[in-house]
Amino acid sequence: MKQLLIAVFLIVVIITLIVVAFTASQALNEEQRLESDLQYRSKLLADSLKETVEPQFINKSQYQLQYLVSKFEDKERLVGLNIYDNKAIPVATSSSLTSEIPKAKQIAADAMDQDQATGDFINLNNKKIYLLAAPLHDKDSVVGALMIAQNAGYIDTRIAEIWKNNLVRLFVQASLLSLATLVLIRWLIYAPIKNLVESLKFARSGGEESNSKKPTNSLFFRPLVNEITNIRRSLQEARSSASEEAKLRLEKLDSPWTSLRLKEFIKDILKGRTVYMVSNREPYIHIKNGGKISFYTPASGMVTAIEPVMQACEGTWIAYGSGNGDKLMVNRKNQVKVPPDEPKYTLKRVWLTEEEEKGYYDGFSNEGLWPLCHIAHNRPIFRKEDWDQYQIANQKFADAVISEIKNQERPIVLIQDFHLALLPRMIKAQKPSAVIGLFWHIPWPNAESFSICPWKKEILDGMLGADLLGFHTQLHCNNFIETVGREIESLIDLEQSTISKGNHTSYIKSFPISIAFPNGYHGLKNYDYSAEGKKLLNNLKIRSQFIGVGVDRLDYTKGILERFKAIEIFLDKYPLYKGKFTFIQVAAPSRTKVKKYKEFAEEVRKEAERVNSSFKENGWKPIVLLERHHSHEEVQTIYKLADLCLVTSLHDGMNLVAKEYVAARDDEKGVLILSQYTGASRELKDAIIVNPYNAEQTANAIREALEMTPKEQTKRIRDMREIIKNNNVYRWSAQLLKTMAGLG
């Protein structure tokens, strides 16, 4: 619309310029024509009057002369006459010309000097007047001058009329033309193009041909429409043959899972049942800044994993709307289609009050359950008021889910993470036919550790409302089963890995989560990672030969301080690397309202500063801390330029950064140093596995990584990439959904 208005504005400006130029030229011509006509007529009049005036002048008949000038004043356009003697002193003057007339004497004198009629236009009392002086002769000598004053005001009136008429015409023309342009562009160009874009988008998103809009029948675009129809048809054909191929591959579990294969698989096993994903964190957060709304994807392992799955299965994702622009983007049902650039599924937002967010999210989830489940030596804080808000918020999510699934026969509801532990029971109570899964993204501690939670029984009971409970590792499953055995009256079948409570059975199973590789790792077209990497190092003034990287939320479980300590020991022990090794720590601010996290961020800053100040020399420092959220492309750029990646979590469910680093290295270079306390260490055995509490060991691992031969690096990275390719997030969700579909 903006472009349309600009186009109309430009057209109006061009027309205005043309009309103004044309009018100016027309006015000038008309002015010249009228002036020369007046000059000519004045000359004729002067010549004829001279014959009458000359004899009287020679006879010096003052009375006759005065009579003559009085006779000719105010006649039509003639204002009056003046007669001058040879010294240009008036001898007789019309009463209308008695006042001092500018230039009159000069014009009379010029006419006498040159012995020919001379004239000029002057302004008299705001009136345009033409003065023409003709010499009077006695025989051959010039004895005086006769001056005629003609009213020339009608010339200005005529010019003004021309301008007025043309400007009115311009206004009418511009209005009609703008209207015509708007109508033409809107209906002849914009509407058909919009229709074509929509039909292409529809084809690209894989919509059924029969459901697509009829392409425009605009005559103007017919050749283009024909071409696009052909492209759509080819796309449809390619898609159905790919889909056929994917179907054929469904049973061949050795071929890698892709988004398309998952889509086919879901169609095949769910047979039209919709998938409802539920999580605290939303995949797209809309931010209002000034008058502008933008969006970003938060730094979250859960979002990294689930987002590509939702893109493939096109269901509904229910999550807390945490952005200050979120409410502006939803419809009346609090839904918005995402990804915003290319909508594929529905995001339904749940709203929480400040009090709920504080108690449920900051308090019970992040200060209670998070440290409880991570053995990272941080004491959990359990407050009754936080627990109350946790229950209220869980009920809100449950209500939102119920409003979506109430008319569905056997909906599949997949709940994510520890924020929503009570949800399975709440949903099951209202909708028993729903098949409910809960995936726990963080570790499950041993029964002893979990037992300190004051509401352990309620939490376990809430979770056991699910038909399937998923964890990253078998160890976490075992810990959970043991915890339930200790805390709740139930029937445990270790062989089947089930827990029955009342007449409901929950399956406990491990599903090691992963990333969207290879599908999600093509990178942006036209994005030159190598050039961007060089630019980034340049901007950061990093000139070191070796680069290490760490990418984490600023969370005390990620072992960032332990990592910095290891770097300090490494440089002390191997001083040859001073000035040659820089470690880039990409740290996304996280849970910033929680006191522990604020303190931790401060500690990280201070520790980086401390290590830097003891080593820095000649503009080099060992640690560069980039404390902000980075885009997917920025994170990829840093992965690709780093010789090693340090993942030193003190305890981590899986840790996707480890997998992302390996996936990003399509050059088959780089070394992953991985904490033994991550779920990922069970799969990525070709990483250098370390105990993050043992800084000496991590320091040695850094050296080993930097001195590893390229051949060895390639071998390890290649093997790990193969593992991630075969165990990607599409496979993870296929297995999870297949298990759920088999449960009801």
| DSSP per-residue codes, 496-512 | TTEEEETTEEEEEEE--
Q: Write down the least CB distance from residue 653 to ligand ADQ, Å.
A: 3
- Which of residues 300 and 365 has its CB atom nearest to ligand ADQ in the complex? 300
DSSP state of 691: -
- Which of residues 150 and 304 has its CB atom nearest to ligand ADQ in the complex? 304
446 near 476, Cβ under 8 Å?
no
Number of residues that bind ligand ADQ (CB under 6 A): 25
Residues 79, 107, 277, 442: which binds ligand ADQ (CB under 6 A)? 442
Site for ligand ADQ in 504-523 (CB under 6 A): 513
Q: Write down the least CB distance from residue 335 to ligand ADQ, Å.
A: 25
Q: Write down the least CB distance from residue 672 to ligand ADQ, Å.
A: 13
Cα–Cα distances (Å) from 99 to 94, 114, 125, 146, 208, in that order, read 10, 26, 10, 17, 93
- Which of residues 135 and 520 has its CB atom nearest to ligand ADQ in the complex? 520
Residues 270, 277, 329, 588: which binds ligand ADQ (CB under 6 A)? 588
Residue type, 55: P
Place of tokens 């989560």: 513
Q: Write down the least CB distance from residue 637 to ligand ADQ, Å.
A: 12
Phi, psi dihedral angles at 683 (to 5 degrees): -105, -40
733 binds ligand ADQ (CB under 6 A): no
- Which of residues 49 and 625 has its CB atom nearest to ligand ADQ in the complex? 625
Stretch that binds ligand ADQ, among 252-260, 349-357, 582-590, 686-694 (CB under 6 A): 582-590
601 binds ligand ADQ (CB under 6 A): no
Helix (H) or strand (E) holding 91: strand 90-93
479 binds ligand ADQ (CB under 6 A): no
Cα dihedral angle (262, 268, 274, 276), rounded to 10 degrees? -40
- Which of residues 85 and 634 has its CB atom nearest to ligand ADQ in the complex? 634
DSSP state of 75: B
550 binds ligand ADQ (CB under 6 A): no
663 near 515, Cβ under 8 Å?
yes
Give the nearest residue (CB) to ligand ADQ: 301
683 near 727, Cβ under 8 Å?
yes
343: left (phi over 0), alpha (psi -120 to 50) or beta: beta
- Which of residues 301 and 368 has its CB atom nearest to ligand ADQ in the complex? 301
655 binds ligand ADQ (CB under 6 A): yes
Site for ligand ADQ in 286-305 (CB under 6 A): 299-302, 304-305
Stretch that binds ligand ADQ, among 99-107, 315-323, 628-636, 723-731 (CB under 6 A): 628-636
369 binds ligand ADQ (CB under 6 A): no
- Residue from 43, 55, 52, 51 nearest 117 by CA: 43
Stretch that binds ligand ADQ, among 225-233, 535-543, 650-658, 663-671 (CB under 6 A): 650-658
- Which of residues 389 and 416 has its CB atom nearest to ligand ADQ in the complex? 416
Q: Write down the least CB distance from residue 535 to ligand ADQ, Å.
A: 18
441 binds ligand ADQ (CB under 6 A): yes
635 binds ligand ADQ (CB under 6 A): yes
Residues 264, 552, 643, 683: which binds ligand ADQ (CB under 6 A)? 552
Beta strands 127-138 and 118-124 are: antiparallel
Q: Write down the least CB distance from residue 655 to ligand ADQ, Å.
A: 5
Q: Write down the least CB distance from residue 602 to ligand ADQ, Å.
A: 17
Phi, psi dihedral angles at 584 (to 5 degrees): -100, 120
644 binds ligand ADQ (CB under 6 A): no
Stretch that binds ligand ADQ, among 80-88, 102-110, 130-138, 550-558 (CB under 6 A): 550-558
Please give the Cα distance from 209 to 203 (Å, whole number): 7
692 binds ligand ADQ (CB under 6 A): no
Strands in 141-151's sheet, in edge-to-edge order, are 90-93, 78-85, 141-151, 127-138, 118-124
Cα dihedral angle (556, 558, 561, 567), rounded to 10 degrees? 180
Site for ligand ADQ in 659-688 (CB under 6 A): 660
- Helix-helix angle 384-405:423-430, to 10 degrees: 40
Please give the Cα distance from 64 to 55 (Å, whole number): 10
Q: Write down the least CB distance from residue 242 to ligand ADQ, Å.
A: 28
- Which of residues 506 and 681 has its CB atom nearest to ligand ADQ in the complex? 681
656 binds ligand ADQ (CB under 6 A): yes
Give the other-Cβ count within 10 Å of 483's Cβ. Answer: 22
594 binds ligand ADQ (CB under 6 A): no
Strands in 498-501's sheet, in edge-to-edge order, are 335-338, 345-350, 316-320, 275-279, 412-416, 435-439, 468-471, 504-510, 498-501, 491-493
- Which of residues 395 and 631 has its CB atom nearest to ligand ADQ in the complex? 631
Please give the Cα distance from 680 to 688 (Å, whole number): 12
Please give the Cα distance from 380 to 384 (Å, whole number): 13
Residues 586, 724, 734, 736: which binds ligand ADQ (CB under 6 A)? 586
b/e burial code for range 525-544 (CB count within 10 A of at least 16 → b): eeeebeebbeebbeeeebeb
Phi, psi dihedral angles at 687 (to 5 degrees): -80, 165
551 binds ligand ADQ (CB under 6 A): yes
Q: Write down the least CB distance from residue 339 to ligand ADQ, Å.
A: 16
- Which of residues 221 and 444 has its CB atom nearest to ligand ADQ in the complex? 444
657 binds ligand ADQ (CB under 6 A): yes
- Which of residues 57 and 730 has its CB atom nearest to ligand ADQ in the complex? 730
Stretch that binds ligand ADQ, among 23-31, 559-567, 627-635, 694-702 (CB under 6 A): 627-635
Beta strands 498-501 and 504-510 are: antiparallel
| DSSP per-residue codes, 608-641 | HHHHHHHH-BTTB-SEEEE-S---HHHHHHHHHH
Query: By the criterion CB under 6 A, which residues form the site for ligand ADQ?
Result: 299-302, 304-305, 441-442, 513, 551-553, 586-588, 629-630, 635, 652-657, 660
